[in-house]
């Protein structure tokens, strides 16, 4: 589930995660087919070929081999797990030895899960792709070669002019990503590969195209389906991904995230935190904004294999907001499902980190202390109508937010106060960044401009009727900038989804400064990137008397000191300081 918020959410259901990310004014992923031949991208090693099959939306009835599952086995127990599948009447349908799981058609997942060799059994849920309305836009136009006129050479330093809409980017001013700040010192490099696991990136957007890396971009959604409800029909993109539909974003969330990270300095619209990096589309989110386990794991493993330097993850893995390994209020099959999600993502995260990928995620938008959760009323969020209210405790975790090795980002509004919707926690919060906050009355900024402005696909805005037939925005939530016959669109969003890419951009600046030649371009130890992120952040203490979030959220209590606390982690990320920090 994507972690951005709508105006309706703000006004009516403040504090709860939403199911889809749209603009503050209620502005409304594509799939894939066979990978491009001869791409030169290395394929996965030690994988088991998988054949297409029907997908399960939940545990299959006992005795009916209609469900497709991911069966995670303990280290060295593959053969024992395979025997457990076969003994239960199941059929092997693939797998991945590096992440330690089988893909199998199983009629009795509980029987398989009871075997001591098995640590989790998770349905391989249906995955969506571009709707039929987007069919004509599946193959994006080629991105322009290099930077647009007026852009300094990649990795260069020196004075630059502010972008035309820079005056609307309070977020960049807050973190020092300005013409007189980090842009004049370090802006990342073309050899820094930034992966965006999201709903896609609009590669044709004029303020993204110059930095879009078409060669490495992939979709990890199976081909031939139009929505999550349709199920699998066609090629499973698997660990190598499908290239054909990369560069398309039918929802807009991923485009906004990518723009905040790396929109170029080109005399049009805005600039991102690291305007000279390469943006790689790692599509794993459905049209509905759902992120299921297998495509998310596939995207992370692919990022590791091809040398991606840093990955942004502004979502949690569906369908469980909180994953509990042994909650008595869940059925045995549900417990197996959640164990599989935790274990599968833990293995994918570990694999990526071992291969030099720095991992950054949005912490979440429920406005709660993740160290003291008590209730989950929105899980499972798929299929529709399956959610139930259940009691939970701190043994239950959000994924990937609470996994070791992942940098979790809280959100602040334009005043620098923690946004009331942002989750927090002394253990869970690592760093803070601008995410926007419509209720931040401590700021002189008013209205929708309290959100984060970044790129929006024109097609999404037209479909949602946020622009008229002549291309004019219908309200203040959408901004258009036209220069030299080229027009580009931008929209305001808020959420921890918007905070995380600011940190990802600063990580890219650090890698551009200190990375060494490696697979894909540069490489740098994720632990060292993390250390410099925290060292260059601006420390921020808890509000007085323990403090509360914005918007009168007195129920939110900040714990910890100035150097590390539950609202701001190690402080608010700072691009200008990262551009000059020494190791």
d(CA 413, CA 540): 14
> Cβ contacts of residue 389 below 8 Å, gap of 6+?
375, 376, 377
154 SS3 class = coil
DSSP states of 93-124: EEEETTTTEEEEEES-HHHHHTSTTEEEEEE-
253 contacts 500 by C-beta, under 8 angstroms: no
345 contacts 400 by C-beta, under 8 angstroms: yes
> Cβ contacts of residue 471 below 8 Å, gap of 6+?
458, 480, 487
Q: Which of the 8 DSSP states describes residue 166?
A: G
d(CA 153, CA 332): 57
14 contacts 504 by C-beta, under 8 angstroms: no
Which of 23, 217, 278, 497 is catalytic? The answer is: 497
Which of 93, 115, 198, 287 is catalytic? The answer is: 198
Active site residue 253: yes
HEC secondary structure over 28-45 = CCCCCCCCCCCCCCCCCC
Active site residue 198: yes
d(CA 110, CA 42): 36
409 SS3 class = strand
- Round to the nearest angstrom and report the end-to-end CA distance of the chain: 36
Which of 147, 205, 253, 256 is catalytic? The answer is: 253
143 contacts 213 by C-beta, under 8 angstroms: no
83 SS3 class = helix
Nearest to 241 by CA among 317, 294, 180, 163: 294
Q: Which of the 8 DSSP states describes residue 219?
A: E
Beta bridge partners of 359: 311, 406
47 contacts 99 by C-beta, under 8 angstroms: no
Q: For Cα atoms 531, 533, 537, give the angle at the middle one, nearest 5 degrees.
A: 120
d(CA 513, CA 176): 17
* β-pairing verdict for 388-391 and 375-379: antiparallel
d(CA 431, CA 408): 7
Token pair of 304, please? 């590791």
What are the backbone dihedrals phi and psi of residue 555, each rounded to the nearest 5 degrees, phi first? Answer: -75, -10
CA 343 to chain CA centroid, nearest Å: 19
d(CA 202, CA 4): 18
* Omega before 246 within 30 of 0, i.e. cis: no
Token pair of 222, please? 């199976």
d(CA 27, CA 551): 24
Hey, which residues are catalytic here? 198, 253, 497
């Amino acid at each position: 589930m994507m972690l951005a918020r709508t105006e309706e959410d703000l006004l009516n259901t403040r504090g709860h995660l939403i199911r889809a990310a749209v603009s503050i004014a209620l502005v409304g992923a594509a799939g894939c087919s066979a990978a491009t031949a001869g791409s030169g991208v290395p394929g996965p090693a030690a994988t088991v070929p998988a054949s297409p099959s029907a997908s399960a939306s939940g545990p299959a009835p006992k005795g009916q081999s209609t469900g497709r599952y991911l069966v995670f086995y303990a280290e060295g127990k593959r053969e024992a797990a395979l025997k457990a599948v076969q003994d239960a009447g199941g059929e092997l349908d693939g797998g991945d030895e590096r992440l330690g799981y089988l893909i199998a058609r199983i009629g009795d997942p509980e029987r398989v899960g009871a075997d001591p060799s098995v640590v989790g059994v998770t349905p391989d849920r249906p995955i969506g792709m571009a709707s039929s309305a987007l069919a004509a836009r599946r193959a994006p136009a080629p991105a322009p070669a290099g930077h647009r006129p007026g852009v300094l050479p990649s990795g260069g330093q020196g004075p630059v002019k502010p972008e035309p809409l820079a005056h609307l980017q309070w977020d960049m001013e807050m973190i020092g990503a300005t013409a007189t700040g980090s842009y004049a010192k370090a802006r990342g490099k073309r050899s820094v590969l930034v992966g965006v696991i999201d709903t896609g990136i609009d590669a044709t957007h004029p303020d993204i195209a110059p930095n879009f890396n078409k060669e490495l971009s992939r979709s990890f959604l199976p081909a031939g389906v139009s929505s999550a409800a349709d199920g699998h029909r066609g090629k499973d993109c698997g660990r190598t991904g499908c290239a054909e539909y990369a560069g398309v974003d039918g929802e807009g969330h991923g485009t906004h995230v990518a723009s905040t990270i790396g929109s170029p300095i080109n005399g049009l619209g805005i600039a991102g935190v690291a305007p000279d990096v390469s943006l790689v589309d790692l599509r794993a989110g459905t049209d509905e904004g759902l992120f299921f386990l297998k495509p998310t794991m596939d995207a992370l493993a692919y990022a590791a294999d091809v040398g991606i330097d840093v990955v942004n993850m502004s979502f949690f893995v569906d369908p469980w907001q909180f994953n509990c390994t042994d909650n008595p209020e869940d059925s045995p099959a549900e417990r197996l499902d959640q164990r599989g999600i935790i274990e599968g993502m833990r293995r994918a995260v570990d694999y990526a980190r071992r291969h030099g990928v720095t991992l950054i995620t949005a912490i979440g938008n429920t406005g709660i202390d993740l160290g003291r959760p008590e209730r989950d009323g929105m899980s499972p969020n798929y299929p529709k109508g399956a959610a139930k209210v259940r009691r939970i405790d701190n043994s239950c975790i959000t994924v990937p937010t609470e996994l070791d090795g992942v940098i979790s980002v809280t959100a602040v509004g334009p005043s620098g106060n923690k946004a009331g919707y942002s989750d927090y926690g002394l253990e869970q919060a690592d760093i803070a960044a601008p995410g926007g906050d419509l209720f931040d009355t401590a700021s002189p900024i008013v209205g929708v401009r309290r959100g984060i402005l970044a790129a929006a696909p024109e097609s999404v805005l037209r479909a949602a009727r946020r622009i008229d037939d002549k291309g004019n925005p219908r309200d203040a939530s959408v901004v258009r900038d036209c220069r030299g016959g080229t027009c580009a669109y931008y929209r305001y969003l808020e959420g921890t989804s918007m905070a995380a890419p600011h940190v990802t951009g600063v990580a890219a600046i650090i890698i551009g400064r200190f990375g060494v030649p490696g697979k894909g371009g540069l490489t740098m130890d994720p632990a060292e990137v993390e250390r410099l992120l925290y060292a260059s952040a601006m420390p921020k203490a808890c509000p007085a008397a323990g403090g509360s979030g914005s918007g009168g959220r007195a129920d939110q209590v900040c714990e910890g000191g100035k150097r590390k606390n539950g609202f701001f982690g190690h402080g608010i990320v700072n691009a200008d300081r990262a551009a000059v920090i020494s190791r």
